[in-house]
Structure 1
């Protein structure tokens, strides 16, 4: 397998969610990464949105890197089809390795684990621990309430507008991924940025 053109960390749920649009978005993200010669870095599970994005990426030709704690190997059904499956001891190790192996971060609809991962990467970004772009894929209005809360936080003086500007938000997978790869820096953007979805 050729060296990946870029690497994207995708945060998403170990459950599929009720709306079929969530699975379609996960498939679109995986296909886009594979079609552009990229690498998917994700939580290493076989179920839910994690399994959907990983399988779509794999079938589209992406290199798939999974990172999962030993305690979750059975619970999240570790994906043995990954090109690399790293079984680590803690969630801290999982998140650190996922961040190190990626040039950008994308959060799909998910639960508190997805939110925790996104917010940690976002916090690291605002503190200058990394300069990697972050994106939120707002599928079927799933994150509308969260985005409203975040705007209220800005209005209340607990966040600055510049912090919100660090998070790219889109409803279309291709649009969001193109934006993130363009911001990821030289050697990270897949070229050409063509439509595959």
Structure 2
């Protein structure tokens, strides 16, 4: 399975790094590939290192203005002209999506993927990995959107909130197996 991971390229606290590393190792050990933003910095590097060292493949999609940060040694690296093309390529190459901790770029990617899913533009499973409660506020906001009628589909059909990488991976493997 090609698992697209949206996450930060920033260097982060160990409360985010250690669970990410464990998740990355599980992806590689289970024979899955990481589809990611291609950066060799921050949490993106942690994920790429863990997947690659555990036997998984790396499929990077960078963007021209960040190409200087792209990881050498990925199995494949695509460089797009802009962020919109990058997001489209990431989605096209993925069987499933995991949103990890991140900033505005990660949030932008998450909301676009969810909006496309909401409108039936893709049916790939989406997981928000809620490491250390990072997405508690966003989860509450989504629950409010659902309760007040802003979501035309049930929240549970839109996104799965996982507290750790093991739960995220179990959900994705089950969803992708059911879709086949």
When normalised by structure 2's length, the TM-score is 0.93
Runs of 5+ in structure 1 lacking a partner? 1-5, 189-197
2:46 is the counterpart of 1:52: yes
Map residues 58-137 of structure 1 onto 2, 5 A cutoff: 58-74=52-68, 77-137=69-129
SS in structure 1 of the partner of residue 154 of structure 2: helix
Counting helix residues as a fraction of each chain, which structure ranks higher?
2
2:119 is the counterpart of 1:141: no
SS in structure 1 of the partner of residue 124 of structure 2: coil
Detail structure 1 runs of 4+ shifted over 6 Å in the superposition: none
Cα pair 1:57 1:63 within 8 Å, conserved = yes
RMSD across aligned C-alpha pairs, in angstroms? 1.6
Counterpart position of 1:41:
35
More displaced stretch, 47-56 vs 176-185: 176-185
The alpha-carbon deviation at position 185 of structure 1 amounts to: 3.4
Aligned length: 180
Decide whether aligned partners of structure 1 residues 145 and 186 sit closer, same or farther in structure 2, where only a CA change above 3 A counts.
closer
Counterpart position of 2:145:
153
2:13 is the counterpart of 1:25: no
SS in structure 2 of the partner of residue 121 of structure 1: helix
SS in structure 2 of the partner of residue 10 of structure 1: strand
CA deviations 1:51-104 (Å, max 9, x no partner) are 100110000011101100111123xx1111211111111111111111111100
